[in-house]
Amino acid sequence: KRREEMERLEREKQAEIRSYKGLMVSEKMTSNKQIAAANKSLQELEEDFM
């Protein structure tokens, strides 16, 4: 019984690792509207990214 529970927890952990839940955080996203408001060109934005 305990082994089954440990296996289930491990499967859930692996599924979470494979998901994009940690990457798709709204605070880290930038909209096209925000870029335009900052008066940055796409090239400037890409340079800042690197």
Q: What is the pLDDT along the chain (50 residues), one digit of tens a residue?
A: 899 999 999 999 999 888 877 777 788 788 878 877 887 777 787 787 65
Q: Is the dihedral of CA 4, 10, 15, 16 positive or negative?
A: positive
pTM of the model: 0.41
**Helix residue spans in the chain (DSSP H):** 2-18, 32-37, 42-49
Q: CA Rg, the chain, in Å?
A: 20
Residue 20 Ramachandran class (φ > 0 left, ψ -120 to 50 alpha, else beta): alpha
